Structure 1
Amino acid sequence: MKKIISLAPGRTCLFGDHQDYLGLPVIACAIDRDIRLTAVQNSTSVFNLNMVDINETRIIKIDETFPELKPRDYFASSLRVLRRYGCIPNIGYDINISGNIPINSGTSSSSALLLAWINFLIEAYGVNEEVTPEFISKIGYLSEVVEHGEPGGMMDHYSIGVGNVVYINTVNPFAVTVIGKELNGLVTGVSGVPKETIGLIGELKNNALLSIDLVKQNDKSFDLNTAEIEDLKKYSNFLPDRLIPYFEAAVKNHHYTKLALKEFQKASLDLKKIGELMNGHHAVLRDLLKITVPRIDAMINASLKAGAYGAKIVGSGGGGSIVAIAEPGKESQVAEAMLAAGAVAAYAVNVDPGARIV
């Protein structure tokens, strides 16, 4: 019986949280925590899914077309999307799924599971397209965000699918560029406070888009991609007080992402400079978008006191994880400081090459 092992890593956002759904760029990297899907062909017409870590099972008929989707059912939506690309299941599989990405932590366990599932389906049944990391990432984005009408962006899918450290330009011409294959000194800390993704992203996205639209109504030449911090005072005059923080956050976060890209493009990477920019980015997320919680703040502060060059919250916020960057060799002392500040887990991570069949 045919056996397929599909692996997909988690990811961490370095610069550009809450930016990709605004058409702004992101710098992210895949990290070596992963979801592993092991599928063995059977003689039935069903997928027998065994999700080991959460002690759940599911049976899906291979010919199910899912005319209606249940919320967040990415197994179903990806099957539906892939059928449009000629991926037609014709034999069943017994599938075990396990992983070491903390669930609901801001490091994209759900998107990693989705990409591992998509990669397995393509490997098992094929598609009518050239299979590239970008194609797999695109199917992930269509399946999770577009098919379900969710408010998120494409950072998770492309950083996991392409792997390495990537710069994702989310507007025309859309492009994903690998800007690094190593980034030493990374430490992840898991707060244990469950993050709130869909509602929080929806609120932040709507307020940011509303503020941008109001500025455009008053200044037809306005372009968020070229806006600079020096322009904020002028544009803020067009906005009610409650929307100013969302607009300011969009401009400032883009500013830090642009500066970080310049650093990544240099011949040698200055980790201290990357850390300083990370701190600036986190201040925007904390003070303007207000997506941190007390335990996250305590973990950030402890990381910096322990010698980290920089640290920030990761993902949608309201809980979840942080990422810190430290001098290589000092990762363990930063992780210990995170744990002392209340983290339920903390560990050094390395850059991962991305979703793959192993």
Structure 2
Amino acid sequence: MKEIISLAPGRTCLFGDHQDYLGLPVIACAISRSIKLTAKQNDTGVFKINMVDINQVRIIDINEIFTDLAPRDYFASSLRVLRRNGCVPDFGYDITVTGNIPINSGTSSSSALLLAWINFLVHAFGANEEITPEFISKMGYLSEVVEHGEPGGMMDHYSIGVGNIVHIDTRDPFSFTVIGTELGGLITGVSGVPKETIGLIGDLKGNALMAIGTIKEHFPEFDLNTTEIEDLDKYLNYLPDRLIPFFEAAIKNHHYTKMALIEFQKPALDLKKIGSLMNQHHEVLRDLLKITVPRIDDMINASLKAGAYGAKIVGSGGGGSIVVMAEPGKEAPIVEALLAAGAVEAYAVTVDPGSRIE
């Protein structure tokens, strides 16, 4: 019987958290933690999905069209999206899912599972377009964000699907560029505090868009993508006090992402400079968007005291993980410091080439 093994990595956001849903660029990379989906063809007419790590089994009839979607049911939404793109299941599979991406930690375990599932489906049943990393990424974004009407962006899907270190321009027309394949000295620290996602992103996005809309009422030609930090004073007096932090955060985070892109485009990476920009980015996430929690702050402070060049929270916030930039070869003392500061896990990671069939 036919067997397909589909692998999809987690991701970390290096620069641009809470930016992609505003049409601003992000820099992210796939990391060497992954979801592995092993599928063996059966003759039952169902997908039997055994999610070993969470002790759950899902059975899906291959002919189910899912007229109604349950919240966050990405298995179902992706089947709807893929049917519209020429991928129509005609026999079943027994599927085993395992992985070592911490769940609900800000490193995209759910998006990794989704892309592993999508990659399996299109390789098993075909599609009406060429199956490329970009196609897999697009199907993931449509399935998770568009089909469910969720407030997130496309960073997770393209950083996992395309792999490597990627600069994503989230404006329309959307584009992405691979800006690197290696980045030594990366560390992930997992707080163990469950992150918030849908509600937190929705609130932050809503407030940021409200602030931008208010500015556009006074400055119709305002363009968030071309606004610089030096322009802030020009606009802040037009905003109510409660919206100022969200507008200021968008401008500053965009600035640090642009500065980081300049560094990644140089022939030799200056890891100290990249780390310094991470620190500045994190200050905005902590002080303006207020998405950190005490354990995250303790972990970041501990990593910097242990010699890290920089560190920042990753993902939607309210818990989850941090990414640390260290001198390559000197990750061990920083990992120890993170664990001593309360991290439930801490480990060095490398850049991963992205979602693939093994």
TM-score interval for Structure 1 and Structure 2 normalised by the shorter chain: over 0.9
How far did residue 175 of structure 1 move? Answer: 0.8
SS at 2:5 equivalent:
strand
Q: Using the alignment, how far apart are the partners of 2:31 and 2:209 within structure 1?
A: 30
Asked if residue 190 in structure 1 is aligned to residue 187 in structure 2, the reply is no
Q: Using the alignment, how far apart are the partners of 1:109 and 1:156 within structure 2?
A: 10
Residue identity in the other structure for 1:70: A
Asked if residue 336 in structure 1 is aligned to residue 336 in structure 2, the reply is yes
Asked if residue 222 in structure 1 is aligned to residue 222 in structure 2, the reply is yes
Moved more, 226-235 or 72-81: 226-235
Residue identity in the other structure for 1:338: L
What is the Cα-based RMSD across aligned positions, in Å? 0.4
Q: Using the alignment, how far apart are the partners of 2:176 and 2:76 within structure 1?
A: 27
Residue by residue, what CA displacement relative to the aligned partner does 1:278-311 show, whole Å, maximum 9, x if unpaired? 0000000000000000000000000000000000
Q: Which residue of 2 aligns with 1:28?
A: 28
Q: Using the alignment, how far apart are the partners of 1:331 and 1:63 within structure 2?
A: 49
Residue identity in the other structure for 1:259: M
Q: Which residue of 1 aligns with 2:59?
A: 59
Q: Using the alignment, how far apart are the partners of 2:199 and 2:104 within structure 1?
A: 14
* Segments of 4+ moved more than 6 angstroms: none
Residue by residue, what CA displacement relative to the aligned partner does 1:188-217 show, whole Å, maximum 9, x if unpaired? 000000001000000000000000000011
Residue identity in the other structure for 2:298: A
Q: Using the alignment, how far apart are the partners of 2:17 and 2:196 within structure 1?
A: 14
How far did residue 332 of structure 1 move? Answer: 1.1
Q: Which residue of 2 aligns with 1:244?
A: 244
Asked if residue 320 in structure 1 is aligned to residue 320 in structure 2, the reply is yes
Q: Using the alignment, how far apart are the partners of 2:352 and 2:151 within structure 1?
A: 27
Q: Using the alignment, how far apart are the partners of 1:288 and 1:157 within structure 2?
A: 27
Q: Which residue of 1 aligns with 2:72?
A: 72
SS at 1:267 equivalent:
coil
SS at 1:78 equivalent:
helix
Q: Using the alignment, how far apart are the partners of 2:246 and 2:77 within structure 1?
A: 32
How far did residue 172 of structure 1 move? Answer: 2.7
Residue identity in the other structure for 1:56: Q
Residue identity in the other structure for 1:281: H
How far did residue 234 of structure 1 move? Answer: 1.2
- TM-score between both structures, scaled by the size of structure 2: 1.00
Asked if residue 306 in structure 1 is aligned to residue 329 in structure 2, the reply is no
How far did residue 221 of structure 1 move? Answer: 1.6
Residue identity in the other structure for 2:113: L
Residue by residue, what CA displacement relative to the aligned partner does 1:159-192 show, whole Å, maximum 9, x if unpaired? 0000000000001331110000000000000000
Residue by residue, what CA displacement relative to the aligned partner does 1:93-131 show, whole Å, maximum 9, x if unpaired? 000001000000000000000000000000100001011
Q: Which residue of 1 aligns with 2:109?
A: 109
Q: Which residue of 1 aligns with 2:295?
A: 295
Asked if residue 348 in structure 1 is aligned to residue 348 in structure 2, the reply is yes
Q: Using the alignment, how far apart are the partners of 1:324 and 1:301 within structure 2?
A: 11
Question: How many equivalent pairs are there?
Answer: 358
Q: Which residue of 2 aligns with 1:232?
A: 232
Q: Using the alignment, how far apart are the partners of 2:172 and 2:91 within structure 1?
A: 39
Residue identity in the other structure for 2:106: G
Residue identity in the other structure for 2:11: R
Q: Which residue of 2 aligns with 1:170?
A: 170
Residue by residue, what CA displacement relative to the aligned partner does 1:216-273 show, whole Å, maximum 9, x if unpaired? 1100121000101111111111100000000000000000000000000001000000
Q: Using the alignment, how far apart are the partners of 2:11 and 2:82 within structure 1?
A: 23
Q: Which residue of 1 aligns with 2:120?
A: 120
Residue identity in the other structure for 1:265: Q
Residue identity in the other structure for 1:232: L
SS at 2:298 equivalent:
helix
Q: Which residue of 1 aligns with 2:14?
A: 14
SS at 1:47 equivalent:
strand
Residue identity in the other structure for 1:192: G
